[in-house]
Amino acid sequence: MSEEMRIVMPKYQATLEPPVIGAALVRASISYDGLPVAIWSTAEDLRKFFGRSNGGCTANAYVDGVVDALLTRHNADGKIIQKTPIFRFPVCYPHIQSLPLGAFLIIGGRSEWSVEENRAGHNAFIYNFEGKLIRSGTVGDAIDEVQALGDGTFWTSYFDEGIGEDLGWDPQFPSNDANLPPREPIEITGLIHWNSELEPIWVYPTMEELRPRFGDRGAFYASMFHMSSMNFDVDQTVVLPSTSCSIITIENHEITRYVDTQGEFKGVPGVAISGDRVLIWSWRGKPIITLIDISDGYRVVENCELRYPKEFDTSPSSSSNYIGPTIHVIDEYGVWITLDINDVWPDE
């Protein structure tokens, strides 16, 4: 990599307006329409949304005690256009997405298996415009990313903890009831598409299912136990499995393109895509933007150094969404920045 790299700086978009004076931002994200949604609470209750146990080693699934929250929808200037109260907010490490008709999707990062009830606890909740709970269910443990679409369906990706024996999940553990299945993790292949009834409508293929098309090596690098990054556009989903950070395009629940990145990336925070142009945001001692042409295989066009606007705080609690050509990041203070691949692509 050349020592002299072009500097790329995201655009400052807006700062999210808090719903009340003194409100603390729990989590923000970008919905399918490119606009922010957020969870707010009080500064005193903020830590309850991020509870941990076992000496801090395990993220809790559920909020300890009674905690209320406000869900907000914002316009492109960060101003509030909808405010919905939620009493007794249920889950820790929450994700939020907008759904049609003013509804909100809330998903907790963890789901604990109940030995007494022999089932997983609910960690997905749909609230209507007024804050009434419409539906709840289980979408698996160790949620990494959540992205809803305009048709009310949504995608979830997973950390590797979700396929092991954490929080009571265990694929090898026999049920106490012979008529009930074992505690098989929901997210064994790392990516699921759900309908608005909280039912899975497509699960990413296993390595065995990929092998006939891609062969042994291709199936291994295309398989997914943990997602590095995923991007959503109107008609396609692009994912980068942690096994290889290969670029995989999914259309209509079919893998339509597989691009081997030749092991160049080890962990990818973000990806943007526009046609045959791909932008990968990775970390190599400093944040690096790699611009890639995939029109005929894999070709690195340029590596650039990423620098943040002065308004942005680079704390680990920032949240990111990747929608088509744009990377969106919102920091813990509600500062929203964007980076569009077409704005930084070099003239060739």
Q: Are residues 66 and 88 in contact, defined by beta-carbon separation less than 8 angstroms?
A: yes
Residue 287 covered by a domain: yes
Question: What does each of the 348 residues of the chain score in pLDDT, given as a tens digit?
Answer: 556 899 999 999 999 999 999 999 999 999 999 999 999 999 999 999 999 987 787 889 999 989 999 999 999 999 999 999 999 999 999 999 999 999 999 999 998 877 777 778 899 999 999 999 999 999 988 899 999 999 999 999 888 655 555 666 655 444 445 555 545 556 567 899 999 999 999 999 988 999 999 899 888 888 877 777 889 987 899 998 877 888 999 999 999 999 988 878 876 778 999 999 999 998 877 889 999 999 999 999 999 999 999 999 877 778 999 999 999 999 999 999 999 999 999 986
Residue 348 covered by a domain: no
φ, ψ at 238 (rounded to 5°): -115, 130
Round to whole Å and give the CA distance between 175 and 161.
21
For 340, counting Cβ atoms within 10 Å of its Cβ (0-12 exposed, 13-18 middle, 19+ buried), the class is middle
Residue 2 covered by a domain: no
Give the residue from 38, 32, 43, 46 showing the smallest Cα distance to 79.
38
Number of Cβ within a 10 Å radius of residue 235: 8
End-to-end Cα distance, the chain = 19
Q: Determine the pLDDT at residue 3.
A: 66
Residue 291 covered by a domain: yes
Number of structural domains found in the chain: 1
CATH of the domain at 180: 2.120.10.30
Structural domain harbouring 258: 7-343
Q: Which residue has the tokens 């959503």?
A: 232
Residue 1 covered by a domain: no
Q: Are residues 200 and 158 in contact, defined by beta-carbon separation less than 8 angstroms?
A: no
The DSSP line for 256-275 is: EEEE--TT--S--SEEEEET
Residue 254 covered by a domain: yes
Q: Determine the pLDDT at residue 177.
A: 52
Kindly provide the b/e burial profile for residues 259-279, where b requires at least 16 CB atoms within 10 angstroms of the residue's own CB: bbbeeebeebbbbbbeeebbb
Residue 198 covered by a domain: yes
